[in-house]
Amino acid sequence: MPPRTMEQILKGRRSQPNQLIEVLQDIQENYGYISKEAMKAAADSLGVPLMEVYRVASFYKAFKLKPCGKNHLIMCMGTACHVRGARLLLEQAVSQFGVNPGEVTPDGLFSVEHVNCLGTCALGPIIRENGSYHHHMTPGKLRKLIESLRRQGTEDRQNVQVK
Ligand code: FES
């Protein structure tokens, strides 16, 4: 389904400040992050001060204020995952991508972030990738996952160029 425009997201919600979180969720879902422009449009439409929109958007970790890579890895650094080597996995991802958590690789393919718990502690170390959970991760499994995503990204790009 093609992403909805801001106009479509805000339609029927004008001057309804109580719709702020739903609007931010829709923006996040459609664009992958909440840009300054989107915050301004939401503030103007809902009748909420821009500062309040920013406060809410930056409070919830589920809302991203910067774009992510095509493949976004969320790595758990909670205690259960940490004692099973999660820190090494994060260092490996950062080294393979060549960017720090919160940044996007120059080709736009990857970004990584770390969180405190993904809620499946017994299966750690856990990595969430584009909505899929990978459990009992090891450096070898992570390397294969990244290689597979990189191959897929390259193929997608070639298919777009052929069309
Ligand atoms: S500590 Fe990693 S899933 Fe809970």
The domain segmentation of the chain, as residue ranges, is 6-59, 71-162
Q: Report yes or no: 114 and 88 within 8 Å, Cβ to Cβ.
A: no
* Domain 71-162 CATH superfamily: Glutaredoxin (3.40.30.10)
Average pLDDT score, the chain: 92
**CA 93, CA 81: separation in Å to the nearest integer?**
15
Q: pLDDT digit string (tens) for 11-30?
A: 999 999 999 999 999 999 89
Q: Is the dihedral of CA 26, 30, 33, 38 positive or negative?
A: negative
Beta strands in the chain (DSSP E): 71-76, 110-115, 127-129, 132-134
Residue-wise pLDDT tens digits, 88-146: 999 999 999 999 998 999 999 999 999 999 999 999 999 999 889 999 999 999 999 99
CA of 4 to the centre of ligand 1 (A): 34
Any residues with Cβ below 6 Å from ligand 1, and which?
76, 78-81, 117-121, 124, 126
Q: Cα of 122 to ligand 1 centre, how many Å?
A: 7
- Is this model's pTM higher than 0.75 or not? yes
Distance 75 CA to ligand 1 centre (A): 9
Cβ atoms within 10 Å, residue 133: 15
> pLDDT category, 153, cuts 50, 70, 90?
confident
Q: Pick the residue with more confidence: 76 or 163?
A: 76
Ligand 1 mean position to 134 CA, how many Å?
12
Residue among 81, 84, 134 whose CB has most ligand 1 atoms within 8 A, to mutate: 81
